[in-house]
Homo-oligomer: A and B are copies of this chain.
Amino acid sequence: MAKVAILGFGVVGSGVAEVLRRNGPHIDEKIHSAVELKYILDVRDFPNSPFAPYVVHDFAQIEGDPEVDIVVETIGGATIAREFTERALRAGKSVVTSNKELVAEHGYELMRLAQEHGASYLYEASVGGGIPIIRPLKQCLAANEITEICGILNGTTNYILTRMIRAGLPFGEALKEAQANGYAEQDPTADIEGHDACRKICILASLAFGRHVYPAQAPTEGISGVALADVAYAESCGRKIKLLGRAIRGTDGKVRAFVAPHLVDGENPLAGVEDVFNAITVKGNAIGDVMFYGRGAGKLPTASAVVADVMEAARSMDRPKYLDWGPGGEDVAVPPDDVASAWYVRAEASAEQVRAAFPDASFLARAGAPAGETAFLTAGTLTRPALDGKLTALTPRSVFRILTD
């Protein structure tokens, strides 16, 4: 019998309570023991909720209750969530989280703390919502040297880009629609500027390559600079614009992690990932490419990933699970400046100016292009600094990498 406390009765927290109740008998049977909800911590009361009897307001009550084995942290952020996580781990309780910010910023220390106190710290739900990725990445691909991870990691931006591509909505309108549908928050900055995707690619990179990669080490560009013109040019060459989080291990052993809009070939499975879906591609030296695909967010998918971790923690109470990595450092990650790509450029320049700088460029066309707008693909691959050197005579408006296999 494992007793569980949920911290934060928001979207994910209430989903966890619901999945525990709905699939309870099924869960008990699978782990051959019972998982029982004991507390829900929130500042609010929920008098009309069936979970009202579980609600408490003081974390000390959970911390001091030796019956609580597993704490589910669905508060979010890296302040109060961090404090409660540390206190729970110090009390020997395992912690299961969906909090990507906390894992991306402090995962290493929290995993160490868990280990010191014989507890598990599990975070399957922090990346890809309900898509199983953390455990497959660590366990099933363990026989591979992983060389690259590339994914559509944020459902909000993928929804906005899908609406721009399919309905021709400009960015601002697509964002408003996403907000109206509950896919984007009122302050959408963390999503549209790529911070959310950045945290997720850092978690995946840390796990795959074994050392903590911090969000500050991963240059991040969001989608607010993507114009309908770019969408049209991409379409004209059989590609789609997708916000990708990528992490590449170079031959020097260092990680290049970054988030940026990319042009993705229509034949690439990532191009077909639409709406709020996420997909993560993992490249290994034996396995080739494998892809994990599903709903990257949402109450029940995310909650089901949390509950799977709760079951794992319950099953292994006498032998905690470590899906951990080593310490970060300046030597772990470098900017992707030396990662060569073919590039898409839209510039305020004449075709002659472009040809002078890029003699082999492939020009793109779109209906309704204003005079003086030129868009092209570079012929070969080059690094960003090399590209920038050639762009000095032009006035670039959009510069995106092209994803190649």
The answer to whether B292 and A292 touch across the interface, beta carbons within 8 angstroms, is yes
- Asked if A300 is an interface residue, CB under 8 A from chain B, the answer is yes
Query: Which of these, B22, B292, B294, B312, contacts A288 with CB under 8 Å?
Result: B294
Q: Smallest CB–CB gap between A321 and chain B, Å?
A: 11
Number of contact residues on A: which range applies?
35 or more
- Asked if A3 is an interface residue, CB under 8 A from chain B, the answer is no
The answer to whether B311 and A142 touch across the interface, beta carbons within 8 angstroms, is yes
**What chain B residues lie within 8 Å of A289 (beta carbons)?**
294-295
**What chain B residues lie within 8 Å of A145 (beta carbons)?**
23, 26
**What chain B residues lie within 8 Å of A300 (beta carbons)?**
286-288
Q: How many copies does the complex hold?
A: 2
| Interface 1/0 per residue, A279-320 and B, CB below 8 Å | 000001111111111110010110111111011100000010
- Asked if A140 is an interface residue, CB under 8 A from chain B, the answer is yes
A311-B143 contact in complex given A290-B131, A293-B293, A301-B287, C-beta closer than 8 Å: yes
**What chain B residues lie within 8 Å of A284 (beta carbons)?**
130, 304
**Bound form: Cα–Cα A307–B286 in Å:** 10
The answer to whether B290 and A303 touch across the interface, beta carbons within 8 angstroms, is no
- Interface pairs (25), CB distance under 8 Å: A19-B286, A22-B286, A23-B143, A23-B144, A23-B285, A23-B286, A27-B143, A124-B140, A132-B136, A135-B136, A141-B308, A142-B308, A143-B305, A143-B310, A284-B304, A286-B301, A286-B303, A287-B304, A287-B305, A288-B300, A289-B295, A290-B293, A291-B293, A291-B294, A292-B293
| Interface 1/0 per residue, A67-102 and B, CB below 8 Å | 000000000000000000000000000000000000
- Asked if A139 is an interface residue, CB under 8 A from chain B, the answer is yes
- Asked if A329 is an interface residue, CB under 8 A from chain B, the answer is no
Q: Smallest CB–CB gap between A288 and chain B, Å?
A: 5
Name A301's closest neighbour in chain B (CB-CB).
Answer: B287
Q: Smallest CB–CB gap between A54 and chain B, Å?
A: 19
**What chain B residues lie within 8 Å of A144 (beta carbons)?**
23, 304
Q: Smallest CB–CB gap between A295 and chain B, Å?
A: 5
Q: Smallest CB–CB gap between A277 and chain B, Å?
A: 8
Residues in chain A within 8 A of chain B (CB atoms)? 15, 19, 22-23, 26-27, 30-31, 124, 130-132, 135-136, 139-145, 269, 272-273, 284-295, 298, 300-301, 303-308, 310-312, 319
**Bound form: Cα–Cα A284–B293 in Å:** 14
**Bound form: Cα–Cα A139–B384 in Å:** 42
Q: Smallest CB–CB gap between A279 and chain B, Å?
A: 8
Q: Smallest CB–CB gap between A269 and chain B, Å?
A: 6
**What chain B residues lie within 8 Å of A311 (beta carbons)?**
142-143
**What chain B residues lie within 8 Å of A15 (beta carbons)?**
286
**Bound form: Cα–Cα A306–B143 in Å:** 8
Query: Which of these, B31, B143, B301, contacts A308 with CB under 8 Å?
Result: B143
A288-B269 contact in complex given A136-B136, A139-B308, C-beta closer than 8 Å: no
**Bound form: Cα–Cα A262–B15 in Å:** 35
**What chain B residues lie within 8 Å of A139 (beta carbons)?**
132, 135, 308, 312
**Bound form: Cα–Cα A142–B290 in Å:** 21
**Bound form: Cα–Cα A140–B138 in Å:** 13
**Bound form: Cα–Cα A44–B311 in Å:** 47
Q: Smallest CB–CB gap between A20 and chain B, Å?
A: 8
Name A287's closest neighbour in chain B (CB-CB).
Answer: B130
Other A-B contacts than A143-B304, A290-B292, 18 sampled, CB-CB below 8 A, are: A22-B286, A27-B142, A30-B142, A132-B141, A132-B290, A136-B136, A140-B308, A141-B308, A142-B311, A143-B308, A143-B310, A272-B272, A284-B304, A287-B305, A288-B298, A288-B300, A291-B293, A292-B293
**Bound form: Cα–Cα A293–B288 in Å:** 11
